[in-house]
Structure 1
Amino acid sequence: MRFNPFSADIRRDPYPVYRQLREMPVHKTLGMWVLTRHADVRAVLLDRSFSAGLIPRLIGQQADRHVRGDVGRIERLARKSLVFTDNPDHARLRALVNRVFTANAIAALRPAIAAIAEELVENALGRGEMDVIVDFAGPLPLRVMCDWLALPESMREQVGDWTHNIRFLLEPGLMQAEDFTRVQAVVEEFAQALAGVIAQRRAHPGGDLISRLLAAETSGGDKLSDEEAIFVCIMCFVAGNETTKSLVGNGLLALLLNPEQDARMRARPDLARCAVTETLRYDSPLQLTKRVATRDVDQIRAGDQVLLCMGAANRDPEVFADPDRFDITRNPREHLAFGHGMHGCLGGALAELQAEVAFETLYRRANGLRLLTDQHEWQEHSLIVRSLKHLAVAL
């Protein structure tokens, strides 16, 4: 068989192909080694000799191809963001940002998240139906992050478009010349807007995320520069918005396609967190990620690209019993939806909290939820994120 992540069948339902791929120890396609078994994917995620620095290199190649000259901030964003860095840069940035993204800080956001979710559901109840993606799952993480950063109103209407455009940086191989030029301009516009906010917060700090990032300091006195703080803020949106939207949409679809689980959730809204964890395993928002080998490992040679299929690993029967069954009582803590090891998702706890509040609010406020169509269209602008374009439901 041949694994083609561009195919329409994969977008609709990648899991039958994943089942076949797991029968092979490794598979090579499009010049990459493809790993699908839980043990193999986890091992590479834990092995620091597999570099996460492929994205900056690809962005540099795109810059050479499309822009003859200095590309400025977009290249620095690629080289200095947590998502793309290896040690020692990664360890330094993580040590600072971890001081802000604490469990207590995220838990303290619950009332604000609940208030936004209540408002969005209330609007939908007035209409009797909604597009879960457009009206609920999309706006929720954007508004939560804007509030946590305390962004001025003048920025908030633009953040969604900025985030959607900059998302291309996670998959630079998909960018054409016009895409690169647009993303470069958007990064500069977003960064300049944030620079003004950061200057204001340095002069008048508060309890918001930007103020706390600027105040974060290691025992050795190290702090984030203004530009590093800008990059953290940008990546909070780029890495967190699309995946959280997908988590809520994929989870609600799975619940409504499985009546017994829908009924269980309705009878016990306290299972919302379990439903989120099972969604992360069953239909992972982030399906794929890449690494580059820096040493020879079996048939993989130094310099080879490795495609890690978290979506496949999360349905490995060696780890999860009856893996193709959606069961919100399963509590599968071994899932790899947030990655693992050094590059484990910084915002994973925040994504889980938002999805938990979203499910709990929907099931508490609406007496019933019903799909309005059995034809579901999946987004096509990303190969690595599995997300619905629309999800129409009656409430």
Structure 2
Amino acid sequence: MRFNPFAPAFRQDPYPQYAALRAEPPIRTLGMWVLTRHADVLAVLRDRTFSAELIPALVARHGGAVDTDLILRLGRASLVFTDNPAHARLRGLVNRVFTRAAVAELEPLVRELAQRRVGGLGHDLMAEVAAPLPVEVLCTWLGLPAELHGQVAGWTHEIRFLLEPGMVRVDDLERVARVVATFAAALREVRAPGLLRELAGARTAGGDRLTEEETALLGVMCFVAGTETTAALIGNAALAVLRGPVLAAEQVPAAVRETLRHESPLQMTTRIATRDVEVGGARIAAGDQVLLCLAAANRDPAVFADPDTFDPSRGSGTHLGFGFGMHGCLGGALAELQARAVLDALVRGPDLRLAGEVRWQTESLIVRSPQALPVSVAVGAQ
């Protein structure tokens, strides 16, 4: 069995390869174990002895060829890349302000922005709605000044490559370090009310608080972890609706949840074993990297009936679109809110149709979304 995530055919349609991998014991390739079965992926996500501290491993692999101290500090200030006790400390502080109630308060803003963008939609739903909306929402919530709104998407795209297994080179680290420094410096200057100021003011019962740098780096990671994946969720959900039967307004929340399972925006994530362990028949040694194919697990027929069919009426099940457990996506509720707002606007708006071939983006191995979503108003629609 071979697994080549760089192959053009895989980038356009990975699901036949995922199905073949699920039918066999886990394989080791590209220096990693590849897990595709729902039970195996869930077992690793639940097992806290598997480490998420990938930035130190990435830096060590490049042997100190560049100054990576700031990248290491970004990792230490990130919920994505930390293990306990550091993760528990950060989560305890962030959870004081990044709550479901706080996200719910954003709903009027999110719906207004989504309706405005869908109402002004020209030809490409991906470029005009899905990609800019998450950036606009986060910029507003964090309290960023208007002059930064046009810059953060580019900065985020550069830094996001730290999440890509096996794609980062020495010159990438040099560039990313410069961008992190620029982005963090800009966020340290933000004084307006918003999530950044709330993070800076958060305190534990024992008086612990985030440093100024930790606050800025957490702001950076809000964009890195929460904009391109949310754009992918919006694009994937919109594509499913455009390809499927007419969706009623009350079906929108279920359609978003089914998108997370059927066309997972985050296709895969990586862990490092800290002990010898057996998973799915594979004997994984301490220090081995493990590639968790979330999208493959989400189409496992052992868990989901007729898994390759997009069916909003199915039960939610245990989809892994937002990961699971300690490192489950903190921004999942906000991502779902934005996708629901866009689908609501589409359902209540003009009758749109796909206006061309849909190709999938190829820049990222771990994010799956259309490169573009060409649309037009159906003939005779008002």
After TM superposition, the score normalised by the length of structure 2 is 0.94
| Deviation (angstroms), 1:220 | 1.2
Higher helix share: 1
Matched residue, 2:355: 372
- In the alignment, the residues of structure 2 paired with residue 75 and residue 31 of structure 1 have an alpha-carbon distance, to the nearest angstrom, of 22
Q: Helix, strand or coil: the match of 2:62?
A: helix
Give the TM-score normalised by structure 1.
0.91
2:34/2:293 contact within 8 Å kept = yes
Q: Where do 1:295-334 residues align within 5 Å? A: 295-298=275-278, 299-334=283-318
- Number of matched pairs: 373
User: Does the CA-based 8 Å contact 1:116-1:140 persist in structure 2?
Assistant: yes
Residue aligned with 1:394, SS? strand
Q: SS of the residue aligned with 1:289? A: strand
SS in 2 for 1:83: coil
Aligned equivalents of 1:252 and 1:365: distance in 2?
13
The within-5 A match list for 1:181-192 is 181-192=174-185
Runs of 4+ in 1 over 4 A off after TM superposition: none
1:54 shift after superposition = 2.1
Structure 2 equivalent of residue 386 of structure 1: 368
- Among 92, 103, 108, which residue is 2:105 paired with? 108
Alignment of 1:176 with 2:169, yes or no, is: yes
SS of 2:150's equivalent? Answer: helix
Q: Is 1:278 aligned to residue 275 of structure 2?
A: no
Cα distance, 1:333 vs. partner?
3.8
In structure 1, runs of 5+ residues without a counterpart are none
- What CA RMSD, in Å, does the superposition of the two structures yield over aligned residues? 1.4
Tell whether 2:126 aligns with 1:133: yes
The answer to whether residue 230 in structure 2 is matched with residue 244 in structure 1 is yes
Query: What's the CA shift for 1:84?
Result: 0.2
Instruction: Give the superposition deviation at 1:362.
Output: 1.3
2-structure distance, mates of 1:256, 1:53: 39
Deviations 1:113-134 (A, max 9, x none): 011111111212xxxx421110
Tell me, which stretches of 5 or more residues in structure 2 are unaligned? Answer: 378-382
* CA distance 1:222–1:344, shift in 2 (3 Å): same
User: Could you tell me whether the CA contact under 8 Å between 2:165 and 2:270 is conserved in 1?
Assistant: no
Deviation at 1:257, TM superposition (A): 2.2
How far apart are residue 61 of structure 1 and its match? 3.1
SS at 2:322 equivalent: coil
Give % identity. 55
State the 1:283 CA deviation. Answer: 0.5
Deviation at 1:85, TM superposition (A): 0.4
Contact residue 150 and residue 209 of structure 1 kept, 8 A: yes
Aligned to 2:380: none
Output the amino acid matched with 1:118: Q
- Picking from 105, 114, 119, the partner of 2:116 is 119
Distance 1:310 1:142, change over 3 A: same
C-alpha distance in 1, partners of 2:165/2:10? 20
Where does residue 82 of structure 2 map in the other structure? 85
Other structure's SS at 2:313 match? coil
Q: Contact conserved, 1:314 with 1:337, CA < 8 A, in 2?
A: yes
